[in-house]
Amino acid sequence: MKYLSEYRDASIARPLIDRIRRTASRPWTLMEVCGGQTHTIVRQGLDELLEGAIEMIHGPGCPVCVTPLEQIDKALILAARPDVIFTSFGDMLRVPGSDCDLQQVRSRGGNVRVVYSPLDALELARRQPDREVVFFAVGFETTAPANAMAVWRARELGVSNFSVLVSHVTVPPAISAIMESPDNRVQGFLAAGHVCTVMGWTEYEPLAERYRVPIVVTGFEPLDILEGMLMAVQQLESGRHVVENQYVRSVRREGTPPARLRVEDVFELADRKWRGIGEIPMSGLRLRDEFAAFDAERKFGLGDLHVNEPAECHAGEVLTGKLKPPLCPAFGARCTPEHPLGALMVSTEGACAAYYHLARYRGPAEAATAGAVS
């Protein structure tokens, strides 16, 4: 594969890799938070190039992957209603719910539409006042400002047939949960560059201090990731544990204040379940009471659903770094991007899909070896 080989031989990448190897006096275990970073690491084989110096545990930063099963099932219920036009980002359509996915609901006559932006869903509601338009508001802090503004704008314009099914999660509580897990092995984090473009990094400073763990705000391109790894290893070797910013061309300490403030106007913190991981206290966002009229769960009276994850899917172990995807018994056989058992096999940001595509490029045996590196 052209792109892979280019980076493996890249003259800029090589000195960085050598420097990381020279700096690391022992193997260190780092976690990249963002699914975009996972995609780059697996696709470029960065983890293999650094075998023995750094082990990367792939973090839970793929919004498609961590949206809990009950929220997917609620989406399926809403999408099947004849009075509803259900709108969503494209990558949620193939995430398996308990019985089916949104694409299957669409093929059975459900009105499911892909939108690029929540503002497209709002516009659709304005054009079709006789239908209920519901938008599936998922994601991390990168999509929260967009979803917050859509709700804000709906209220401003008095669009009463627009509502959102919210399943927002935030990164810092996930870092706490990982560090407090009794079997945690993570010694340093590469924080998600685009999340921090919005939020800045002040929330991470107390985490670095409390858990004595280096956190490096990092971009998603191969050289960004290598530089972020080097910065984290330098901290670990010198016994420091602070927040540093590798992604200076995009991220400032205070983030993007107007976006952050609009998120606070519309959303408040709430407990949230993460698919494969379980509930993390105060790790999600829900609409404030003053925006209850735009909350699809309240509007359509969707109560708590009791759901069971398929036993064959080991997403929880993958998300917590206990299992590399190619070592899952279902990987590539019962579970493929065409027929996924779990969300990690759906999104291009999901760890299982990233390894699956790697196997396609290099052959399953080699990918399995890559997965076994620990």
Partner 1 sequence: MCLGIPGRIVELRDDGGFPMGVVDFGGVRREVCLSYVQGDARLGDYVIVHVGFAISKVDEAEARRTFEVLREMSQLDELDWIGEVAAASAAVQTAATSGGAVS
Which residues lie near partner 1 (CB under 8 A)? 3, 34-36, 39-40, 43, 61, 63-64, 89-91, 111, 113-120, 124, 127-128, 138-140, 142-143, 145-146, 149, 153, 192, 194-195, 197-198, 220-221, 249-250, 256, 258-259, 262, 348-349
35 vs 68, which CB is nearer to partner 1? 35
318 phi, psi to nearest 5 deg: -70, -45
Minimum distance of partner 1 from residue 236's CB (angstroms): 26
Residue pair 345/356 in contact (Cβ under 8 Å)? The answer is yes
Q: Say how many C-beta atoms besides its own lie within 10 A of residue 52's C-beta.
A: 10
Whole-angstrom distance, CA of residue 206 vs CA of residue 243 = 9
Distance of closest approach, residue 250 Cβ to partner 1, in angstroms: 6
Inter-helix orientation angle 118-127/144-157, to 10°: 20
96: burial class by Cβ within 10 Å (0-12, 13-18, 19+)? buried
Name the minimum Å distance from CB 54 to partner 1: 21
Q: Which is nearer to partner 1, 28 or 355 (CB)?
A: 355
Identity of the residue, 250 or 369, whose beta carbon is nearer to partner 1 in the bound complex:
250
Nearer to partner 1, 259 or 359 (CB): 259
Nearer to partner 1, 330 or 350 (CB): 350
User: What backbone torsions phi and psi does residue 179 show, to the nearest 5 degrees?
Assistant: -70, -30
Tell me whether strands 162-169 and 132-139 are parallel, antiparallel or unpaired.
parallel
- Residue 75 CB, shortest distance to partner 1, in Å, is 15
Closer CB to partner 1, 155 or 334, in the complex:
155
Integer Cα distance of 72 and 205 in angstroms:
33
Rank residues 277 and 353 by Cβ distance to partner 1 and give the closer one: 353
Query: What is the rounded CA–CA span in Å between residue 196 and residue 200?
Result: 4
Minimum distance from residue 16 beta carbon to partner 1 (Å): 16
Closest separation in Å from C-beta 277 to partner 1: 18
Report the distance separating Cα 215 and Cα 343, nearest Å. 27
Question: How far apart, in whole angstroms, are the C-alpha atoms of residue 300 and residue 78?
Answer: 8
Beta strands in 15-130, from DSSP E residues, in sequence order: 28-34, 54-61, 84-88, 112-114
Q: How far is the CB of 193 from partner 1 (least distance, A)?
A: 9
